[in-house]
Amino acid sequence: MAAHPDVRGFFDPATHTITYLVSDPQTGQAAIIDPVLDYDAASARTSTGSIDAVMAALREAGLTLAMVLETHAHADHLTAADHLRRSEGVPIGIGERITAVQSAFGPLFDARDVTHDGAVFDRLHADGDTFPLGGLEVQVIHTPGHTPACVSYRIGDALFTGDTLFMPDYGTARADFPGGDARTLYQSIQRLLALPDETRMFVGHDYLPAGRTDVRFQTTVGDQRAHNIHIGGGVTEDAFVAMRQARDATLKAPQLILPSLQINIRAGAMPPPEPDGRRFLKTPLNVI
């Protein structure tokens, strides 16, 4: 029988993101997956209310934070990974192909402080890597398609998919970002759907499709294989690619894509200060 980690999800209504607190019931060792740093676009102010709530729950449960795991460099919210690294002294892990994302977006923002080797992250995970979380084993599954750097994390009977798959009634991730590819996304999803039916699946967002008002973020591999509106029921690769490309052509850029990416390729660190001590985000014109 697969190990059964404790999982608690924290929904951020501003970005529809779920941050996960995952722990080993035997040792109390915990990981936080895809932490959110609050950002008010009108005032360009960051705050930590969302991640503070996660940490309060961690401490109330008597858990010990061991690591932060990112499924990818998000384009829809700022990450609180660096905040946790500085406040809790824990490492940040991400897929090793983050280097491709840094190479694509660093020049866009003239981010000369960002090296394209992933060095700002503490651990770069390759497909098939495993490492311990207390008495549990974390397995890394490279799932590109949404971005070239996306990974999913399998921890016992729990699978964390980031943006690769959403709830069955919402579907799948877009594949039109630089380095994204619908055919690659299809192939990545098939790897996840090959896992045992009973595997618990935790998705990265819930956008509340028409007709549903309650937030959901847990499903199973079996439910996705049978009922996902984009990929379930044996949809062919060509049909999926045609659907995904047509749908992506209608989508607007995420609202926070410009601040998110230039922070997230830095693992959540702010841009370096100007001589007067102030820090600035850059907004390239006519490029998105």
Domains within the chain, CATH numbers bracketed? 6-264 (3.60.15.10)
Radius of gyration of the chain (CA): 18
Which pLDDT score, from 0 to 100, does residue 168 have? Answer: 98
Cα 187 to its chain centre, rounded Å, is 19
- DSSP bridge partners of 10: 19
Q: What would the pLDDT profile of 25-55 be if each residue is shown by its tens digit?
A: 999 999 999 999 999 999 999 999 999 999 9
Count the alpha carbons within 13 Å of 82 in the hemisphere toward its beta carbon.
Answer: 16
Taking CA atoms, 91 is separated from 70, 81, 134, 157, in Å, by 11, 9, 15, 24
Give the residues of the chain that fall short of pLDDT 50: none
Q: How many CB atoms lie within 10 A of CB 121?
A: 27
* CA neighbor of 259 nearest in space, from 45, 104, 92: 45
| Beta strand residue intervals within 100-231, DSSP E | 123-125, 130-133, 136-142, 151-155, 158-160, 200-202, 218-220
Answer yes or no: are the C-beta atoms of 125 and 155 closer than 8 Å.
no
pTM of the model: 0.96
Which pLDDT score, from 0 to 100, does residue 288 have? Answer: 77
Which pLDDT score, from 0 to 100, does residue 2 have? Answer: 82
Whose structure tokens read 């029921």?
Answer: 233
